[in-house]
Structure 1
Amino acid sequence: MGDVVVIGAGQAGASLTARLRAKGFEGGITLVGAEPAPPYQRPPLSKAYLLGDMARERLFLRPEAFYDEQGIELVTGDPAIAVDRKARTVIAAGREISYDDLVFCTGATPRQLPASVGGDLEGVVTVRTIADVDAMRARFAPGARVLIVGGGYIGLEAAAVAAKLGLEVTLVEMAERILQRVASPETSEYFRELHAGHGVTLREGVGLGRLTGTGGRVTGAELTDGSSLEVDFVIVGAGILPEIALAETAGLDIENGIRTDDRGRTSDPQVWAAGDCASFPWQGERIRLESVGNAIDMAEAVADNIMGADKPYTAKPWFWSDQYDVKLQIAGLNTGYDRVVVRDGGAARSHWYYAGDRLLALDAMNDPRAYMVGKRLIEAGKSPAPEAVADPDGDLKALLKA
């Protein structure tokens, strides 16, 4: 067996290297990460870790000793800076690392505010790495005024943590409603009411004009509706972009991420990609998924294919978000929906997305039963009658047998 080099020591990279060893791969494995920490979970950063409810070590996907025990060379704190596909080498940590197969698991990077609107002021932060959260934690003092730019899940999760810690929270979303890109109006309304009930000021249909500061530090914001507010710091939650710079420089095909086939192979047959950075074919279209589930599943599929399985990767999209005491679980992709069926069980609620008679996805709020049943239905290609879904007294499990 040859040697495998994996660029990116996040969820996908860690999953891929562990899978190779579990499947009996005997060649050399090198896992290269830009951050000084070993591979860790990102979702808790904006929730439990930021709240102080999770210790740093609990973020780590595996004990550091695991990599030595498995014969995986873990290179941290020193990113890969170049790839020579002809020579099949990667330059990282001041040396050339040879490979027979190379995998990009480079993930994604947060969108930044440009300097022209004050994005370079001290006190403007993002939530993506342990270092990000460690640096901003001291700012989360009761009574501090925080502006959150972006009403997607990252922004809403940060707002929930800030509100729970007693901060004065204002969130601005340039679109007409929060979660507009990813969820139905019904789901947006649910979370709008949830946040308002916890004292968060939501400003929808309002963008950031520019940030203002004193002595290089942010102190205020001017919004597109002409209003202004004083702030102590700003969290930018305006989405993420696939990390493709190194792959693009290496000459790989790019299409909303690093373009792969259904095996995870890029335009170079010896180079693969998995996780947030990869775009792949799915149900007649090309998609890129930003989720822990996809990072794990695609990485393991690529590992199997490096080992010769030659099997297509079939994504089963699922996502989650924790805000206050609400756990949102999402199954499927709602792209193209034309109807939302609401199942209202009081504390448990779910929104089911249909395109005609076909069930595409669902959002389940504190309703794990609906989530589990809906996920199984979607993966099986079954579409129950909307009337049966909407009945809160109906037997959800019976839908699986229909």
Structure 2
Amino acid sequence: MTAPIVIVGAGLAGLRTAEELRRAGYEGGLVLVGDEDRPPYDRPPLSKQFVRGEVEDTALRPPEFFAEQQIELRLGVAAAGIDIAHRRLLLADGSELEYAHLVIATGLRPRRLTGLPELAGIHVLRSHDDAAGLRAAVGSARSALVIGAGFIGCEVAASFRAEGLDVVLVEPQAAPLAGVLGEQVGERVAEMHRAKGVDVRCGLGVSLLHADENGAVRGAELSDGSEVAADLVVFGVGSRPEVEWLAESGVELAPAGAGGGVLADENGRTSAAGVWAAGDVAAWRTPAGAHRRMEHWTSAGEQARVVALHILAELVPGTEVPAVPAQVPYFWSDQYELKLQALGKPSPADDLHVEPGNGHAFIAYYSRDGILTAVVGAGMAGKVMKARGKIAAGARVADVLAPA
């Protein structure tokens, strides 16, 4: 009996890879392995609608879907390694899975600040269980400290304010999202949060966490010596690729200093025969020859399709692989009543032109050497989405701005 295709990681990229294999005509065995007990679910709502109690279920597909598509789910067991020579996936429960091809889609793990005590009331947010614990804690909390003003931190701060908590948002950089969108756009995000009552403090870190007599967090001392009261703390200080289980596998990994992840070519093929990588964990080779991870919802689907088609081409020699048009990267973040949207690849080093809208709405045009590289907007969805074709075409920013 032919070994199945095994996908490690039952998140968005893993599910999309399974779907694309079936859509492309693959009829063989297909196993989706996940370390959580839940079938694939959508993560973006966890920091917003779910933590606020507005939705209960974020499943990406109903239970019957997997039976209909003949996708075997192996849930609640983590991957522990790969025996490349014998094409076997080693699982943490001691079992093994033989594979014809293996797709690594294990995603990310949230970081925690080192040197701080483990106290009740301290949370990270990545998994459904994380979100459920945070949602339960919000009901009895009065004040919250959110450490890190990236997308997760900003979304959690907005959700906490919607639930009536006093919120302090601490960010070591000069502005929220400055490392992704630059200080000028980041300061607009900070202004939006301050207008909603969030105490945004940038250029600071956390030196100490204080506990009450029961070992629960009650506040913090910041790096400037100021004190913050908080009975709920959330770390939003970024994530790292889930690759520890690959340390002895022989699959080549990117250096941590370069973003980490599983090194792969432009089609998701890794250094090991029959092993592929897709999604947040995958550092794909770019046209310039560098390797870059794309932590975007839409990129997971695009990479899944490319990987699926190339696996089929190897299983059926002579199969032509249709070209998959490169998509313009897109991501979004819901904060209060505004949707922050980004098309392209914004960089803090880009030239920037910002046009204000009503209230806290704005649109920002990023360019490099005169070429439009990205558009970011809040509350201006129509204008942002109209820029997709211009970014794809490498339009001159001067021509884009001229009509405005």
- Do they superpose with TM above 0.5? yes
Task: State the shift of 1:312 in Å.
Answer: 7.5
SS of alignment partner, residue 276 of structure 1: helix
Aligned position for 1:281: 285
Aligned position for 1:213: 211
Q: Does 1:300 align with 2:305?
A: yes
User: Which one is further off, 217-226 or 4-13?
Assistant: 217-226
Please give the per-residue CA displacement for 1:279-324, whole angstroms capped at 9, x wherever unaligned. Answer: 0122413211111111111112101111115577745311100000
Partners of 2:286 and 2:52 lie apart in 1 by 37
Aligned position for 2:317: none
| Aligned equivalent of 2:367, options 354, 361, 365 | 354
SS of alignment partner, residue 226 of structure 1: coil
Structure 1 residues not aligned, in runs of 5+: 395-402
Structure 1 151/209 Cα, relative in aligned 2: closer, same or farther at 3 Å? same
Partners of 2:21 and 2:134 lie apart in 1 by 37
Which amino acid in structure 1 is aligned with residue 382 of structure 2?
A: R
Partners of 1:27 and 1:269 lie apart in 2 by 19
Please give the per-residue CA displacement for 1:158-185, whole angstroms capped at 9, x wherever unaligned. Answer: 0000001100100111112211100122
Please give the per-residue CA displacement for 1:54-76, whole angstroms capped at 9, x wherever unaligned. Answer: 122xx111111111111110111
Task: State the shift of 1:89 in Å.
Answer: 0.9
Q: Does 1:176 align with 2:174?
A: yes
1:290-369 alignment, distance < 5 Å: 290-308=295-313, 309-310=320-321, 314=326, 316-335=328-347, 337-346=349-358, 348-369=361-382
Equivalent residues of 2:3, 2:98 under 8 A apart: no
Aligned position for 2:143: 145
Partners of 2:331 and 2:172 lie apart in 1 by 24
Report the aligned-residue RMSD.
1.8
Please give the per-residue CA displacement for 1:61-99, whole angstroms capped at 9, x wherever unaligned. Answer: 111111111111011111122221111111335422110
Task: State the shift of 1:274 in Å.
Answer: 0.2
Structure 1 233/327 Cα, relative in aligned 2: closer, same or farther at 3 Å? same
Equivalent residues of 1:172, 1:202 under 8 A apart: yes
Task: State the shift of 1:2 in Å.
Answer: 5.0
Which amino acid in structure 2 is aligned with residue 96 of structure 1?
A: E
User: Which one is further off, 215-224 or 37-46?
Assistant: 215-224
Structure 2 residues not aligned, in runs of 5+: 255-259, 314-319
Task: State the shift of 1:383 in Å.
Answer: 2.3
Partners of 2:39 and 2:52 lie apart in 1 by 21
Aligned position for 1:268: 272
User: Which one is further off, 105-114 or 132-141?
Assistant: 132-141
Partners of 1:336 and 1:182 lie apart in 2 by 6
- Percent identity for Structure 1 against Structure 2: 36
Equivalent residues of 1:336, 1:355 under 8 A apart: no
Equivalent residues of 2:107, 2:280 under 8 A apart: yes
Partners of 2:208 and 2:327 lie apart in 1 by 40
Please give the per-residue CA displacement for 1:167-204, whole angstroms capped at 9, x wherever unaligned. Answer: 01001111122111001223112211110011100110
Aligned position for 2:112: 112
Aligned position for 2:50: 49
Task: State the shift of 1:265 in Å.
Answer: 0.3
SS of alignment partner, residue 322 of structure 1: strand
TM-score (structure 2 length as normaliser): 0.91
Partners of 1:325 and 1:390 lie apart in 2 by 30
Structure 1 311/246 Cα, relative in aligned 2: closer, same or farther at 3 Å? farther
Which amino acid in structure 2 is aligned with residue 306 of structure 1?
A: I
Equivalent residues of 1:337, 1:354 under 8 A apart: no
Partners of 1:338 and 1:13 lie apart in 2 by 33
SS of alignment partner, residue 48 of structure 1: coil
Which amino acid in structure 2 is aligned with residue 112 of structure 1?
A: R
